[in-house]
Amino acid sequence: DLAAGALADLKSHPALSTVAASIAREPGAQAIAAAAEAIGGAQILVNNAGIFPTSPFEDMSFEQWKAVIDVNLHGTFLVTKALFPQMKAAGWGRIINIGSSSFLTGAPNATHYIASKGGVLGFARGLAGEIGKYGITVNTVTPGLTTTGTALAQTPPEVLEAKRRGRAVPRDQAPGDIVGAVLFL
C-alpha cells in the first residue's frame, strides 16, 4: 500500500518528529510548530486532518456543528498560523489544504462538514493573496468521497455506488488518487 510504504520511509528518516495534539486547540498547533522548529522548521504543510460525522440538520446540535468546525476549519487556521513564521523566515513555503468537492455539490446530513470545507476554500483564497509575497503558495485540493476506512464505515453502499456511477471513470476514489496532486503542489 502506498501510504504504508511512505510511512515506513518516514519512520526511518532522522528528521522525523511526531506530536500527539489536538489541532482544534491553540496549544496543539503550538506543539506542532515547536516540533517542526526542532528539526529545522516547516516549509511544507498539508492540512489534511478532518472529521466527517453525519447528522440530519434538524437533529444536529450546536456541539456537533462546533466539533466539525473546530477540527476542519479552526484546526486548519491554527496549524497554518503556527507554522507560517517558519515559512516566512525561510522565504519559501507550500500550504496544501484538503477540501471537499461536497462544497460544490452538497450532500445530505453533512451541513456542518460542507460549511467547514467551504471555509477552508475561502481561507486558502484569502491567505494566498496575502502571503504570496513571502514565497509561500496556498492551494486546496477538493477530492470527492474517498474510500478511507472511516468513509467506508459511514457511507451506505448505495451512496458509494451512486458516486461511482457519477464519475467519468466509474470507480471508487482511493487515497492514492489524491497523492499526485498534493505532491505536485
Q: Which residues are catalytic?
A: 113
Q: How far is CA 122 from CA 108, 155, 183, in A?
A: 22, 27, 22
Enumerate helices (H) and strands (E) in the chain, giving the number of each. Answer: 9, 3
Closest CA to 138 of 49, 48, 70, 45: 45
Closest CA to 83 of 23, 9, 143: 23
Which residue shows C-alpha cell 498560523? Answer: 81
Give dist(CA 135, CA 95) in Å, integer. 11
